[in-house]
Chain A
Amino acid sequence: MSAVIEGPTTAAPAAAATRGHVDITNVRKSFGSTEVLKGVSLTVPPGGVAVIVGPSGSGKSTLLRTINHLEKVDGGYITIDGQLVGYQVRGNKLHELREKDILKQRTDIGMVFQNFNLFPHLTALENVTEAPVVALHRNKAEARKRALELLDRVGLKDRAAAYPRQLSGGQQQRIAIARALALDPKILLFDEPTSALDPELVNEVLDVIRELATSGTTLIIVTHEMGFARDVADTVVFMDEGQIVEQGSPQEIFANPREPRTRSFFSKVIEPAFNI
Chain B
Amino acid sequence: MSSAVTTVAQSAQQSAPEPAPASAVAESPTAAAAQSAAAPGAAAPAAPGAVDWPAADYSGYKLVPARHPWRWVGTVMVALGVVAVAWSLATNPRWEWGVVAQWFTAQSVVNGLVETLKLTAISGALGFVLGFILALMRLSASPLLVSVSWTFSWIFRSTPLLVQMLLWYNLGYLYEKISLGIPFTDIRFFEVQTTTLISQFAAAVLGLTLNQAAYSAEIIRGGILSVDQGQLEAAAALGIPAWRRSTRIVLPQAMRAILPTAFNEIIGLVKGTSIVYVLAYSELFYTVQVIYNRTQQVLPLLLVATLWYVAITSVLSVFQYYIERHYSKGAVRNLPLTPLQKARKFFATHAPVNLDRAKEGR
**Cβ B2 vs Cβ A199 within 8 A:** yes
Number of interface residues of A (CB under 8 A): 35
Interface membership of B233, Cβ < 8 A: yes
Contact B239 A121 (CB under 8 A): no
Is there contact, CB below 8 Å, between A117 and B239? no
A134 touches B234 (CB 8 A): no
B155 to chain A, nearest CB (A): 32
With contact pairs A113-B230, A119-B231, A130-B248 given, residues A106 and B238 touching in the complex (Cβ less than 8 Å): yes
Q: Are B241 and A121 in contact (CB under 8 A)?
A: no
Of A160-168, A242-250, A258-266, the stretch lying at the interface with chain B is A160-168
Q: Which residues of B are found within 8 Å of A107, using beta-carbon distances?
A: 238-239
Q: Does B252 interact with chain A (Cβ within 8 Å)? A: yes
| Alpha-carbon separation in the docked complex, A164 to B332 (Å) | 10
Max chain A Cβ within 10 angstroms of own Cβ: one of B5, B239, B329, B330: B239
If A276-B2, A276-B3 touch, does A117 touch B331 (CB 8 Å cutoff)? Answer: no
Stretch at the interface among A96-104, A144-152, A212-220: A96-104
Residues of chain A within 8 A of B237, CB atoms compared: 68, 70, 106, 109-111
User: In the complex, which residue of chain B has the Cβ closest to the Cβ of A273?
Assistant: B1
A235–B1 Cα distance when bound, in Å, is 25
Q: How many A-B residue pairs have CB under 8 A?
A: 84
Contact of A117 among B233, B244, B332 (CB under 8 A): B233
With a cutoff of 8 Å between Cβ atoms, the chain A residues found around residue B332 in the complex are 165
Q: How far is the CB of B256 from chain A (nearest CB, A)?
A: 9
A165 contacts which of B234, B236, B252, B330 (Cβ < 8 Å)? B330
Residue of B nearest to A107 (CB): B239
Provide the B229-256 mask, 1 if CB < 8 A to any CB of A, else 0: 0110111111111101000110011000
Min distance, Cβ A118 to any Cβ of chain B, angstroms: 8
Q: Is the CB of B1 within 8 A of A103?
A: no
Main secondary structure on A side of the interface with B = mixed
Q: Which of B228, B244, B327 is close to A134, meaning CB atoms less than 8 Å apart?
A: B244
Among B242, B330, B331, the one with the most A-chain Cβ atoms within 10 Å of its Cβ is B330
**Inter-subunit contact A163/B329 (CB<8 Å):** yes
Chain B residue nearest in CB terms to A68: B237
Q: How far is the CA of A249 from the CA of B240 in the complex (A)?
A: 36
- Hey, which chain A residues are within 8 Å of B362, CB to CB? none
The answer to whether residues A179 and B330 also contact, given A70-B233, A121-B253, A276-B1 and a CB cut-off of 8 A, is: no
Q: Which of the residues B234, B330, B334 comes within 8 Å of A113, measured between beta carbons?
A: B234
Bound Cα distance from A124 to B234, whole angstroms? 15
Query: In the complex the two chains form, is A99's CB within 8 Å of B333's CB?
Result: no
Tell me how far the C-beta of A134 lies from the nearest C-beta in chain B, rounded to whole angstroms: 5
**Which residue on chain B has the smallest CB distance to residue A164?**
B330
Q: Is A115 an interface residue (CB 8 A)?
A: yes
Chain B nearest CB: distance from A108 CB in Å?
Answer: 9
Residues of A within 8 A of B238 (CB): 106-107, 130-131, 135, 179-180, 183
Which bracket fits the contact residues of B? 20 to 34
Scoring A residues 232 to 258 as 1 if CB is less than 8 Å from chain B, else 0, what string do you get? 000000000000000000000000000
- Name the contact of A121 in the complex, choosing from B4, B228, B327, B333 (C-beta under 8 A): B327
* B228 partner residues in chain A, CB cutoff 8 A: 117
Chain B residues closer than 8 Å to A131, beta-carbon distance: 238-240
Residues of A within 8 Å of B236, CB to CB, are 70, 103, 106
A179 to B238, CA, bound (A): 9
Q: Given the complex of chains A and B, what is the CA–CA distance between A104 and B240 in angstroms?
A: 9
Which listed residue, A103, A123, A165, touches B241 by the CB 8 Å rule? A103
**Minimum Cβ distance to chain B for residue A113 (Å):** 6
A5 within 8 A of B: no
Q: Given the complex, which residues of A lie within 8 Å of B331, measured CB to CB? A: 120-121, 165
A154 to chain B, nearest CB (A): 17
Task: Please give 5 more A-B residue pairs, beta carbons under 8 A apart, in addition to A121-B253, A134-B244.
Answer: A107-B238, A113-B230, A113-B234, A117-B234, A166-B334
30 pairs across A/B with beta carbons < 8 Å? Answer: A68-B237, A70-B236, A100-B241, A103-B239, A103-B241, A106-B237, A107-B238, A109-B237, A117-B228, A117-B230, A117-B231, A117-B233, A117-B234, A119-B231, A119-B253, A121-B253, A121-B330, A130-B240, A131-B240, A134-B240, A134-B248, A135-B238, A163-B330, A164-B330, A165-B331, A165-B332, A183-B239, A199-B1, A199-B5, A276-B2
